[in-house]
Amino acid sequence: MVALIVSLKLTLLKNSLKRSVWRTVGLIVGMLYALGLVIAALIGLLALRLAPAELTADVTVLVFSLLTAGWLLMSLLVFGVDETVDPAKFALLPVRARDLLPGLFVSGLIGSPGVATVLVAAGLVVSWSRGLGMTAAALLAFPIGVATCFLLARVGTTALSSFLSSRRFRDSAVVLLVLLGAAIGIGANLVGSAARPGSLELRQVLAGGAAIAGWTPFGWVWAIPADISRGQWLQAGLRLVLALGLVTVLWVIWGYLLDKRLTEPVEGGDASKKVNKVSVGTNASLVERLYPATPAGAVAGRSLRYWRRDPRYLAGMAAVLIAPVIVVVSQVANPDGSSAVAAFAPVLLGSLVGISVAQDLSYDGTALWLHVASGTRGADDRAGRVMSTLTIFGPVLVILVVVSMVLTGLWQLVVPVVALTIALTLIGAGVGSFVGAIWQWPAPPPGANPFQKGSNGGLPSLLSFSAAALGTMILALPTIVLAIASFWVGWLSYLCLVVGVISGLVVLKLGIDYGGRLLDRRWPEAMLSVSERTG
């Protein structure tokens, strides 16, 4: 079964690469990027072999614990899990979860993240090849640690996707993601500030962090070689038992979740039933009153309902909210932090609005046929998606501006902050409207695991993200320059506001118009791009 599933994964990957040169280029770029990181990590681990054992212990325990936690957090918040071999596809076959688990485990490590993790974890053996006991401990920790990374990510994303597919837990799960991600970022910022004064403080921070990480599930297995180097054999044995127990528990939980997915796929059942119970008349009238009775208004109303009901939108919003929250809290909580930086945190969120607009069309999937069949103008599609996105992000931006001003007390900066936020939000929406008409990719279907991914959308998604972010910053440069200059010439802040609003509206109009014309010419290509999925 293992060989069959691995062969299936490789075949699907090979076939997906044949369909488009972009996927081949994306795979090569991803592999080269991962190779660079692996080489840098292995050089560092090789250098640690020459360092004192105590320093090697602290660095390896802390770094590999963060790597393990990163697998979980990055899978949840950014990359998702590779579902090229989607377990739900086996639902109609006479196969049990326990038969699939080994094959899915091995195939899940086939890819840039998995191979990179295996190679970096193997570097632990290089760092600890200082004696028979330490080498044996590193050889033992290496496979257990890799398994812990993968299983934590798989169990976490599978379990959380179940929560997000249920209306009852959806909002609380999104809030949890924001708080968790913000806590990680704030903690890293505060630790970095505590370590600034000198090497002694840094050494103490490393030792304290390693001591804490070594007794968390993320660090149990990685601390075993460190314990052996100190002669703490009993403690090493205890951590080994804990690490093996964690892997066993995660394996059982993953099997249970996979068993449920084989009999109760996420795509069906509960979520759709709950939607049907909603009073359609009340909600429909509320949404309809927000927008004009035009084709663009109809698109906006449909997109707004997606923002409330679709886990993919909620997961994406959680990811973009983390950055400004980290900036505000870390700068305010840090004694050496900058209040001015915290005051401008809403600008960061405004710059991310365009990315959301750029990816919105891809979330339609095969439902995009309705736009094609009904002859919807591209400009109406672009305008409607902008309207719904601004309906969601507008109030959030207002709240963030007020909170940042209250926490920092820098009310004299409110005009340039508002100017930059408006400019970046509107310019980003305009750029996103145009970029979204160029690149589309197959996203997970509505109601499915919001964190799953395939091999199809990697490069188009990256290009869309990069083009939207870079284009927004370039077109907002006049407003940014005026905002900076207003620190020395106060009245320029009001000119900054005027320029920000006007340039934002102009770019928004051009983005909707030119993006719409582009969509009018390539609706069939867009339909193919969003509906094409491996497996």
3-class SS at 233?
helix
Q: How many CB atoms lie within 10 A of CB 59?
A: 20
Which residues are within 8 A (CB) of 481 and not within 5 positions of it... i.e. 6 or more apart? none
* Burial tier of 14 (Cβ tally within 10 Å: 0-12, 13-18, 19+): exposed
Query: Can you tell me the distance from the alpha carbon of 334 to that of 189, in angstroms, rounded to the nearest whole number?
Result: 8
Burial of 36 (0-12, 13-18, 19+ CB in 10 A): exposed
Per-residue model confidence (pLDDT) at position 271: 43
Determine the Cα–Cα distance for residues 182 and 396; give it in Å rounded to an integer: 17
Instruction: For the chain, give the number of residues.
Output: 535
Single-letter amino acid, residue 7: S
Q: For residue 277, what pLDDT is reported?
A: 44
- Nearest-angstrom CA–CA distance, 327 and 349: 11
Q: What's the average pLDDT block by block, 10 residues per block, for the chain (535 residues)?
A: 71 69 67 82 85 84 86 64 62 70 77 82 86 87 89 78 54 58 60 55 73 86 87 88 91 82 56 44 61 87 81 72 76 72 87 87 83 87 92 91 89 92 94 90 61 53 82 93 91 93 95 93 85 54
For 163, other C-beta atoms within 10 Å of its C-beta total 15
449 closest CA partner among 234, 161, 111: 161
pLDDT at 165: 53
Residues whose CB is less than 8 angstroms from the CB of residue 453 and which lie 6 or more positions away in sequence, other chains included: 79, 80, 81, 82, 83, 444
Distance from first CA to last CA of the chain, Å, rounded? 17
The token pair at 479 is 């407003």
Which H or E run contains 521?
Answer: helix 492-531
Sort 533 into a burial class: Cβ within 10 Å, 0-12 / 13-18 / 19+.
Answer: buried
Q: What is the dihedral of CA 344, 349, 350, 352, to 10 degrees?
A: 140
- The CA distance from 241 to 104, in Å, is 25
Q: What is the pLDDT of residue 188?
A: 60
Record the tokens describing residue 48, joined without a space. Answer: 């640690």
Helix and strand numbers, DSSP H then E, in the chain: 22, 2
Do residues 472 and 428 make contact, with C-beta atoms less than 8 angstroms apart?
yes
Tens-place pLDDT, residues 175-217: 566 566 666 665 665 555 555 545 566 667 777 778 888 888 8
CB 42 within 8 A of CB 119: yes
- Residue whose C-alpha is closest to residue 258's, from 478, 476, 87, 84: 87
The token duo for 89 is 């596809």
pTM value is 0.64
Of 327, 60, 80, which Cα lies nearest the Cα of 218?
A: 60
Instruction: At 156, list the tokens.
Output: 């976490």
Residue type, 355: I
| Rounded Cα distance, 350 and 426, in Å | 8
